[in-house]
A = this chain, B = another copy of it.
Amino acid sequence: MAEPAEKPPAVARRRPRRAGGPAPAAKTPAPAGQDWSSWPTYNDATLGFRDFWYPVQWARRIGSKPMPITLLGEKIVLIRDGDTVRALHDRCPHRGVPLSLGRREFEGSISCAYHGWTFDLKDGRLGAVLTDGPESPICGKISVRTYPVRERLGLVWVYIGDGDPPPVERDIPAELTENAFVMGGRTDVRKGNWRFAAENGFDEGHAKYLHNTALWRLFKVMPAWNMTRVIESGSWLIRVQDEVHWEADYPGYGTWSNKRWWKRMPLPDHPGKSADVNPVIKKMNIPGFVSIRLPGLLRVAYPHFIHYEWYVPVDADHVRYVQIMVRFEDGPKAAVFKAKYLSWIRWLFHGQFTGQDAWMVDVMDAPPEKLYRPDLSLTAWRRHIEKSDLKVQHARGRLER
Task: Name the residue in A96, A115, A225 with the highest tally of chain B Cβ atoms < 10 Å from its Cβ.
Answer: A115
Q: Out of B105, B372, B374, name the residue touching A256 (CB < 8 Å).
A: B105
- A374 near B95: Cβ-Cβ < 8 Å: no
B22 engages A368 (CB within 8 Å): no
Q: Contact check: which of B97, B131, B254 meets A224 at CB < 8 Å?
A: B131
Is A23 in the interface zone, CB < 8 Å from B? yes
Complex interface bits, A164-197 against B, C-beta within 8 A gives 1, otherwise 0? 0000000000000000000000000000000000
Residues A368 and B254 in contact, CB atoms below 8 Å apart: no
Q: Within 8 Å of chain B (Cβ to Cβ): is A3?
A: no
Of the listed stretches A44-52, A242-250, A283-291, chain B binds A242-250
Complex Cα distance, B367 from A216, in Å, reads 51
As for how many copies of this chain the complex holds, the number is: 3
A373 interface neighbour in B128, B137, B372, Cβ under 8 Å: B137
* Centre residue among A117, A137, A372, A399 by max chain B CB count within 10 A: A372
A88 located at the interface, meaning its Cβ lies under 8 Å from any Cβ of chain B in the complex = no
Contact A401 B138 (CB under 8 A): no
In residues 312-327 of chain A, which contact B (Cβ within 8 Å)? Answer: none
Q: Return A215 CB to nearest CB of chain B, in Å.
A: 17
With a CB–CB cut-off of 8 A, which chain B residues contact A225?
130-133
Residues of B within 8 A of A368 (CB): 93, 96, 398-399, 401
Q: Judging by beta carbons under 8 Å apart, are B34 and A116 in contact?
A: no
Task: Report yes or no: B210 in contact with A250, Cβ–Cβ below 8 A.
Answer: no
Chain B residues with CB below 8 A from A141, complex form: 28
**Whole-angstrom distance between the Cβ of A66 and the nearest chain B Cβ:** 14
Asked, given contacts A30-B138, A118-B253, A206-B114, whether A370 binds B93 with beta carbons under 8 Å apart, the answer is yes
Given the interface pairs A95-B364, A399-B368, the reply to whether A128 lies near B250 with Cβ below 8 Å is yes
Kindly list chain B residues whose C-beta atoms are within 8 Å of the C-beta of A62. Answer: none
Interface string of A222-251 (1 = CB under 8 A from B): 001100000000000000000001001111
Interface residue A5 (Cβ < 8 Å from any Cβ of B): no
What B residues does A35 contact at CB under 8 A? 399
> Is residue A83 within 8 Å, beta carbon to beta carbon, of the partner chain?
no
Is the C-beta of A57 less than 8 angstroms from some C-beta in chain B?
Answer: no
Q: Do A130 and B372 have beta carbons less than 8 Å apart?
A: no
Q: Is A132 within 8 A of B373, CB to CB?
A: yes
Q: Nearest-CB distance from A281 to chain B (Å)?
A: 26
Question: Counting CB contacts under 8 A, is A162 at the interface?
Answer: no
A91 on the interface (CB 8 Å rule)? yes
**Most B Cβ at <10 Å: residue of A109, A370, A401:** A370
Q: Which residues of B contact A204 (CB under 8 A)?
A: 131
Chain B neighbourhood of A22, CB < 8 A? 135
Starting from the known contacts A22-B135, A116-B205, A128-B252, 16 additional A-B residue pairs (CB-CB under 8 Å) come to: A91-B365, A93-B368, A94-B369, A96-B364, A105-B256, A106-B253, A106-B254, A113-B360, A115-B206, A115-B210, A130-B224, A130-B225, A131-B205, A131-B225, A131-B374, A132-B225
